[in-house]
Amino acid sequence: MIRELRVALTVQDFDAALHVFRDLLGLETLQEWRNPDGRGAILAVGRATLELFDAAQAASVDHIEAGARLSGVVRLALEVEDLEYAARSFARAGTKAVAQPRLTPWGDRNQRLQTPEGLQITLFVPSEGRGA
């Protein structure tokens, strides 16, 4: 059985990425290192799920959230308490809004962002009655 899921992100600006995930999102640093081979960190994310989409479903979600097919093979979706506050915090850290917040057909409020490296991130507030 799988005991842990890790998503490994390779980033150009390690300090900026660490700031977003550790400082803005409040993820706990479990381990951080700097050695001659490079830098890394493992951050605790809490409850995680893995979404698997076929190409048609990925295109559908991209169109709903951003108006066009934009994401690659990996897109992060992060549940937040306050969509506007989270989006502003991400913007201050260098991400750009791909689209304005939208109400999805399944009732969530979503906003699509993109990091300087091109990673697509969906911030979402679940519909009432569907929360963690």
pLDDT per residue as tens digits for the range 69-113 = 988 888 988 899 999 999 999 999 889 999 999 999 989 999 999
Asked if residues 120 and 99 have their Cβ atoms less than 8 Å apart, the reply is no
Buried b (16+ CB within 10 A) or exposed e, 76-107: bbebbeebeebbebbeebebebbbebbeeeee
Q: Residue 2: what pLDDT?
A: 62
The predicted pLDDT at position 130 comes to 54
Mean pLDDT across 49-59: 88
Q: What is the mean pLDDT of the chain?
A: 89
How distant is the alpha carbon of residue 84 from its chain centre? 15
Q: What is the CATH number of domain 55-125?
A: 3.10.180.10
Looking at residue 131, what is its pLDDT?
Answer: 53
The model's pTM is 0.75
Q: Between the CA atoms of 108, 68, 66 and 44, what dihedral angle is there, to the nearest 10 degrees?
A: 80
The C-alpha atoms of residue 79 and residue 76 are separated, in whole angstroms, by 10
